[in-house]
Chain A
Amino acid sequence: MSDEYENKTGYQAQSSESITSSSIGSGVATDIDYVRPAENAEQDLYHGHSFITKWIFCQDAKVIGVQYFLLATFTGVIGLVLSWLMRLQLGFPGAAGFMTAEHYYQFVTMHGMIMVVYFLTALFLGGFGNYLIPLMVGARDMVFPYLNMVSFWSFFVAVAVLLASFFVPGGPTGSGWTLYPPQAILEGTPGSGMGIILMCVSLILFVAGFTMGGLNYLITILQARTRGMTLMRMPLTVWGIFTATVLAMLAFPALLVGSLMMMLDKLLATSFFMPTILKAGEILEYGGGSPILFQHLFWFFGHPEVYIVALPAFGIVSDLISVHSRKNIFGYRMMVWAIVGIGALSFFVWAHHMYVSGMNPWFGFFFATTTLIIAVPTAMKVYNWILTLWRGNIRLNVVMLWCLGFIVTFVNGGITGIFLGNVSVDVPLSDTYFVVAHFHMVMGIAPLMVIMGAVYHWFPLVAGRFLNETLGKWHFWLTFLGAYSIYFPMHYLGFIGVPRRYFEMYDSPYMTSAVGMNEFISTAAFIVGAAQFILIFNIIKTLKTGKPAGHNPWQANSLEWLTPSVPPEHGNWGEKLPVVHRWPYDFSVPGSREDFITQTTPPSDVKDSKVEKT
């Protein structure tokens, strides 16, 4: 019977270790199930007893993950409110009475910084990373739980410092999220006093805190996997988070250095970034510095940062698509290498953000080339997602809807990225709304859709209950259609030349041609923003009355669903660590009893499918 299947389908379940006999089930089960003995000793964990050690200064990675998630979401909501205020001004100038140009710039800056660093990065790596990595690789916890706790509280202080800048004299910095000197620290820019200093301090704290967390993620993945868990058997979620963490560890140093030097320029009047400046006929005390150096440092961090946000999203969406279309991910190895390749390339493309900055013009050749090369692995990933869906047994639930929304949005944003990667196309389009549309599509909405999908997917694990599907569908459709209503017209605004970062259009020709569109965009933005509160309502409602999920509700294969208790307890695995025999994508394997074979199912339990020796 097994021969029939092998020859017809050519499909092999990927499983482990030595096979001594070609026919399974002939009484040599011990040989078949052989997995090397454990290399690592059992990890001793610190179990908190009081409320404070259990829920506040907690060393359990899962609790820390939830803490990260909640705090990041909180700052994200602040970012959302700021974007509302900006859209209010753009769509209906003067409607918000208190809004001055200074406020507008401060809101733009804080919205950008909050969303990119304090929301998306913290949510993906701090939130999902902490919760999922130990569970998915079969560890009891992160390898350095104490450090992990300090990591979260550094992040907490960083957020506190960031938000404190709203309340200092002069308000938060208004220099744009890129913080370009010289204007970031010169008088005349809003928040050029305490605002920029607190921003730099907050970023330095964030980097320090993140380094502690990042070391944990990397060492847990590299050195603390369970028996049988090879790198090529890890779910793509872990691969995405892993590569993003590597990028973060190598890219954040540039941000740290840039922030530190900017702070010294402000506090000690050094001239790292400050050229000789003539202001109202007077030469300022600065002189001889190089403003473009800051741009290079910033974007040496900034471009990998894009992938720090995108790669976990790529990984997570691969897993969601595979589970909810009941098919193995198409081209797993290709997906892994694409993630790694994108990560490596991301360090060689940074100056494509600087085509109009006045850098050495020859750089355009180099950076346009490397930028366009990144399109290759990225496109491979899109094809693989589509081919995973192809002829799959698709469950069209909310999770799948978010995934489909992601693919469409990501392709959209990616294509405009190819426009902007070319110097000659970028020069007229840069600093227009086309750029705004591009990066919101590709690194705002697309990762956000994955986050939403992931929340609906893993909520049954975290809380033990299903989120409400009907509310979820309202949430999805309002967000998806609304986001397109916001950002599609922005491409057009960019083509007609509407500049970004303008408080209002004054007497320009854009005033007449763009005004209706701006009103439309703003209205959509209000609706989309409000729609996000459906999720919060849904979560609160579900926690009380949701349908209990039980074990492995999505019939998934990966380890996080296979814990003895749901939600998993501190230590994750109860008495014995799981032993892994296969990759996490054995869905709909021909001949198997069910349409999924979990990672811990030993080969002897899988009838009628040939086992590959690894």
Chain B
Amino acid sequence: MSDPKIEGFDLKPGFSGMAKDTASDQTMFKGVHWGKAMMWIFLLSDTFIFSCFLISYMKGRGSTMVEWPNASEVFGLHVFGVDVPLLLIAIMTFVLITSSGTMALAVKYGYERNKKMCGWLILATAIGGLTFVGMQAFEWSKLIHEGVRPWENPFGAPQFGSFFFMITGFHGTHVTFGVIFLFIYAYKTFAGHYDEGKRGWFTTMKGDYVEIEILGLYWHFVDLVWVFIFAFFYLW
């Protein structure tokens, strides 16, 4: 997160620091926890997965001869006698960004060893995520009700439904896993596992608040992907 102090090693900023870190022994990412480095590399790999999905979507949408449905209308909501475009999506975005913010604060309070704040904020994040998944389920059922299927839809190109269900489904799976882990981590925080340095269930590593940051990275990544899906799928 911020520059650590390392005995016998002079940390330099910028590119010269990068060269020195890379050339040094033992570690390349100075002061970065193993789990955090792993999460970053995993997210890099996951980025490639979502990129491949979105690139496929671009290629599929671009090369179809049938007209693509107007997302603004398809995802519109009829509230109080008014047609509001993308209302549900806007709320979902709002919820996800809210939960991202609470997660960021949870990480901060975790590092300050503020167990209570950290735990409640993680719980708030988890509830935000759960709300998001619930709204996505609502959105899916609404579309299915309107006749959108992975193999066809009444609005235009059949690929619309295919890509929509696949990509949002894959993202929703990520959110769901995130929510499960958030609840587990909220429990572990309240139980004080990170204060005591209690070992995890499947590892000999000692618990530490850095795990909150690792989970936070994952959660922010889910939010990050949503930014791209929102732009490419709903607005484009």
Task: Indicate whether A256 sits within 8 Å of B49 (C-beta atoms), given known contacts A261-B56, A261-B166, A264-B166.
Answer: yes
A interface residues (Cβ-Cβ under 8 A, vs B): 35-40, 43-46, 143-146, 211, 214-215, 218-219, 222-233, 249-254, 256-258, 260-261, 264, 268-272, 285, 287-290, 293, 296-297, 300, 580
Residues on the B chain within 8 Å of A45, using CB: 204
Known: A254-B52, A261-B166. 18 other contacts (CB 8 A): A36-B7, A38-B26, A144-B203, A145-B203, A146-B202, A146-B203, A219-B41, A222-B27, A224-B27, A250-B44, A257-B52, A270-B151, A270-B158, A270-B162, A272-B159, A289-B159, A293-B60, A580-B25
Interface contact B151-A269, CB-CB below 8 Å: yes
Residues on the B chain within 8 Å of A227, using CB: 25-26
Interface contact A215-B42, CB-CB below 8 Å: yes
Nearest Cβ distance between residue A274 and chain B, in whole angstroms? 10
Interface contact A250-B52, CB-CB below 8 Å: no
Residue of B nearest to A249 (CB): B45
Interface contact B45-A250, CB-CB below 8 Å: yes
Tell me if B9 is interfacial: C-beta within 8 Å of chain A.
Answer: yes
Interface contact B27-A225, CB-CB below 8 Å: yes
Tell me if B64 is interfacial: C-beta within 8 Å of chain A.
Answer: yes
Residues on the A chain within 8 Å of B45, using CB: 211, 214, 249-250, 252-253
Interface contact B23-A223, CB-CB below 8 Å: no
Residues on the A chain within 8 Å of B51, using CB: 253
Q: Interface size bucket, B side? A: 35 or more
Interface contact A231-B22, CB-CB below 8 Å: yes
Task: Indicate whether A219 sits within 8 Å of B49 (C-beta atoms), given known contacts A146-B202, A229-B26.
Answer: no
Give 9 closest A-B pairs by Cβ, nearest first.
A253-B48, A270-B162, A257-B52, A44-B204, A253-B49, A36-B8, A146-B202, A249-B45, A222-B28
A254 to B28, CA, bound (A): 28
A39's partner among B22, B26, B49, B163 (CB-CB below 8 A) is: B26
Interface contact A290-B22, CB-CB below 8 Å: no
A416 to B201, CA, bound (A): 53
A-B contact pairs, 28 of them (CB 8 A): A39-B7, A39-B9, A39-B26, A40-B27, A43-B204, A144-B35, A145-B203, A219-B38, A219-B41, A222-B29, A223-B28, A225-B25, A225-B27, A230-B25, A232-B23, A252-B45, A253-B48, A253-B49, A253-B51, A257-B49, A257-B53, A261-B166, A268-B151, A272-B56, A272-B60, A272-B163, A300-B52, A580-B25
Residues on the A chain within 8 Å of B1, using CB: none
Tell me if B24 is interfacial: C-beta within 8 Å of chain A.
Answer: yes
Nearest Cβ distance between residue A448 and chain B, in whole angstroms? 28
Residues on the B chain within 8 Å of A580, using CB: 25
Nearest Cβ distance between residue A295 and chain B, in whole angstroms? 11
Interface contact B25-A287, CB-CB below 8 Å: no
